[in-house]
Amino acid sequence: MLSDEELKRLAGAAAFSRGRGYYADGRVRLLKSGKAQFEAEAQGNETYRLWLKRDGKGWRWDCSCPAADDGGFCKHLVAAVLLWRDGNPEPQTEQDDLLDYLRMQPAERLALWLKQLADEDTDVERRLRLFQAESNPALLKKTLGSVLGVRGFLDYRRSLDYARRLGPVIAQLETSLASSPAAGRELIEYALRRLLKTYANADDSAGAIGEILADLAKLHGRACALAPGDGRDLAKQLYRLQTEDQWGLFSVADYWPALDGAGKAEYARLIAAELEKLPPKPDPDGRHDSDAFYIRRRAVDYARVARDFGLLLRALQWDLSNGHAFIELVEACREFKREREALQWAERGVKKFPNEARLRDALAGCLADSGLKEEALEQHWAAFAAEPDEKHWDALKKAAAKHWPAWRTKALEALAGRRDSYEAGQRVHLLMHDGDLDGALAEARARRIDPETLVRLARRIESCDRKAAGELYLRVARSLAEHLDYKQYPLFTRYMQRIARLLPEREWREWFDGSLVQHRRKTRLMELLKGKGLI
């Protein structure tokens, strides 16, 4: 599961902090959960749907809130991951013996059952038609049209239903490609055209259709490698697909092995021609932003597979209006072993965006590689000052080496000088991260700390200092009780259970009884507390 450090890296310090607040306030609930995925619902200005799942070695996610429109990792996702990580059990399923029963039935009876199901459910009929058309390309194309075709806009729920019936399509197309690459490629391209049209007219917040479309795009790359045809035609087709693709589905790297010399030359010509359409520099009013983004993305991807450093540099340095642009330039230079140029771009970036922590990290790496360790250490310090999280703490610690004790003191003093509650909580997090639980507890007792941080600390010390852990849980429960709504009832009840287990009753009962008077009309809360033996 995702650690706090990974969540901070994905969401950023501000969204991570707000997500911890959402989690502590009980404003998120899981709808489905498994070992590597979940679907959830978060309550903000409105109710948002979100999901996260493991994809290979990485993670994919989506949330319907505005902050996640561009693929960002929002506070709702942070809160949901914390809840998922907090020990929510995976739903249990009973053993299904239906398959054994079906195997015992005569073929004629099964055929009648399937026909009845097909008559009652059009989705079942479509899937059976796919099996029927397996050995007939013309019939299969017609059947694909029936399966892929939709009318009108697909809302969130219809998109999920539509995606569910597309699974067999991919399997059928893979079978066709294996038996006849040329015919299989033709069918895949037909399915791509239909699906792209549908995707543009659907609410795919859950990413279900997008997953199928990504699989189909990968399959098309394989089909082109097996049945490449004319190289120039393939280059033009790939370019056309990319100009219609706003989702990054068609990577030139996937098609590169299928392009012959003539195809690669044609694709290079198309990329060069569209680069010429860019104005000399970005429009300050942003009129070219959307087109320029896709043009430059295609040029960068092509330059990497073609190993054309000059083109890569040209595309990346067209727009230097943000820190990320300089980071990309540094990474590109280092990828092509241009270490001196990487250092120059990092220095330019830091000069223009001095508060960009990632740029400071990039410059520190360049300086360290050049043997300038003291200068690199200063950049790590500046990065930590900009974003005082565990990642920059560890980088500073590694760079400081034997001088770490002095730098550690300096880092903690810098945080102590700040007065906002996030920085106070972050100091506790860093002390815990460094294994200094006594220091973290002293800080938590002395300062106002956010509830989620108090809970984390309480869990860390519960086995060795039950009383201190109980006192922290009591602080969290008191905070919750001030503005307790129905979504927080289970969380409040769990904390009270821990308090009752860890602290003598005399230390919490008087306050708790007074809180019961305040919330006595909340019958659901009273039922929960009574069920746990607290009243």
Mean per-residue pLDDT, 227-239: 93
Model confidence pLDDT, tens digit, residues 355-380: 999 999 999 999 999 999 999 999 99
Rounded distance between C-alpha atoms, residue 353 and residue 20, angstroms: 29
Query: What is the β-pairing status of strands 47-55 and 58-63?
Result: antiparallel
Q: Provide the pLDDT for residue 420.
A: 56
pTM of structure: 0.67
Rounded distance between C-alpha atoms, residue 88 and residue 26, angstroms: 14
Band (pLDDT 50/70/90 cuts) for residue 493 is very high
Q: Are 398 and 361 in contact (CB under 8 A)?
A: no
Band (pLDDT 50/70/90 cuts) for residue 52 is very high
Torsion angle of C-alpha atoms 238, 242, 245, 251, degrees rounded to 10: 80
DSSP letter assigned to residue 321? S
Mean per-residue pLDDT, 275-287: 76
In this structure, the number of other CB atoms found within 10 A of the CB of residue 510 comes to 10
Model confidence pLDDT, tens digit, residues 78-127: 999 999 987 654 443 334 467 777 888 888 888 888 888 878 876 676 66
- For the beta sheet containing 28-33, the strands, ordered from the edge strand earlier in sequence to the opposite edge, are 28-33, 37-43, 47-55, 58-63
Q: Provide the pLDDT for residue 441.
A: 95
Q: Provide the pLDDT for residue 297.
A: 92
Q: Provide the pLDDT for residue 283.
A: 72
Token reading at 156 = 């969130």
Q: Provide the pLDDT for residue 92.
A: 37
- Rounded mean pLDDT of the chain? 87
User: Quick check: 1 pLDDT over 50?
Assistant: yes
Mean per-residue pLDDT, 205-222: 88
Rounded distance between C-alpha atoms, residue 109 and residue 99, angstroms: 15
Tokens 């460094």 correspond to: 434
Q: Are 37 and 54 in contact (CB under 8 A)?
A: yes
Lowest-pLDDT range of 22-31, 194-203, 410-419: 410-419
User: Quick check: 298 pLDDT over 90?
Assistant: yes
- Percent of the chain surpassing pLDDT 90: 50
